[in-house]
């Protein structure tokens, strides 16, 4: 049975890796749909994700593609796993505080499947007490995390904050569904 993965893409330079992630997940046999924030569209167009996923890309909470359903509820119910990659400090803060002001956050609050957060940001942002507090709250709420890797960041710094590589995230997803089937 093909598993459904909903990818939430928030706005940071690592969005380009999210395009590769959709490609890798699709090649691995998963059905992938994408929700993009407005900020994410400053880096990559929805068309890039549509081409890689062969599915519509969702952006606007109020743009209902099918009038017989409510898109953010339908997507939340459709997904077997939701991954937010890249997850900016902004989206982490919104989710930790229950703020639902766009398509991605409303869908995340409606989700009952596992949700994984893959942070990507400047090393100092990642170490900020507010971000750490928000991450701790999300851990307490049951969210999973794909830790960022260390290395050269887009800002020129070197440190922890790089979005994990698409190949590694795909391996984690495959392992998750394989181990789920063994239970």
Q: In tens digits, what is the pLDDT along the chain, a chain of 183 residues?
A: 799 999 999 999 999 999 999 999 999 999 999 999 999 999 999 999 999 999 999 999 888 888 888 889 999 999 999 999 999 999 999 999 999 999 999 999 999 999 999 999 988 899 999 999 999 999 999 999 999 887 766 767 677 778 999 999 999 999 999 997 654
**Which CATH number does the domain housing residue 59 bear?**
3.40.50.1950
DSSP letter, residue 42: G
Q: How many domains does the chain have?
A: 1
Q: Decide if 155 is catalytic.
A: yes
Q: Residue 144, Cα to own-chain centre: how many angstroms? A: 11
d(C-alpha 171, C-alpha 28), whole Å: 9
The catalytically annotated residue of 155, 160, 168, 172 is: 155
Read off the pTM. 0.94
- Contacts of 68-73 with CB under 8 Å at 24 or more apart are 71/103, 72/103, 72/106, 72/107, 72/110, 73/110
**What are the backbone dihedrals phi and psi of residue 74, each rounded to the nearest 5 degrees, phi first?**
-60, -45
Q: Which two tokens stand for residue 3?
A: 């598993």
Total residue count of the chain as it appears in this document: 183
pLDDT at residue 183 in the model: 44
Domain membership of residue 113 as a residue range:
4-181
Residue 4's nearest CA partner among 47, 55, 46, 51 is 55
d(CA 167, CA 163): 11
Token pair recorded at residue 129 = 């007490």
Q: How far is CA 48 from the centre of its chain?
A: 16
| Coil/strand/helix, residue 13 | coil
Q: Which residues of 42-80 are buried (b: 16+ CB within 10 A; e: fewer)?
A: ebbebebbeebbeeebbbebeeeeeeeeebbebbbebbb
DSSP H stretches of helix in the chain = 15-27, 46-53, 71-78, 89-96, 103-110, 123-126, 129-140, 166-181
């Amino acid at each position: 049975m093909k598993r459904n993965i909903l990818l939430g893409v928030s706005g940071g330079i690592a969005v380009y890796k999210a395009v590769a992630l959709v490609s890798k997940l699709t090649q691995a046999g998963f059905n992938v749909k994408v929700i993009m924030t407005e900020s994410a569209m400053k880096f990559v167009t929805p068309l890039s994700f549509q081409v890689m996923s062969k599915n519509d890309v969702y952006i606007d909470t109020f743009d209902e593609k099918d009038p017989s359903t409510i898109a953010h509820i339908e997507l939340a119910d459709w997904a077997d796993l939701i991954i937010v990659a890249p997850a900016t400090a902004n989206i982490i803060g919104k989710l930790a505080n229950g703020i639902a002001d766009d398509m991605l956050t409303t869908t995340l609050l409606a989700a009952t499947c596992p949700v994984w957060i893959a942070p990507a940001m400047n090393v100092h942002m990642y170490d900020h007490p507010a971000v750490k507090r928000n991450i701790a709250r999300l851990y307490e709420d049951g969210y999973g995390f794909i830790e960022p890797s260390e290395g050269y960041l887009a800002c020129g710094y070197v440190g922890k904050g790089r979005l994990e590589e698409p190949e590694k995230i795909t391996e984690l997803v495959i392992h998750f569904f394989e181990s789920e089937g063994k239970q």
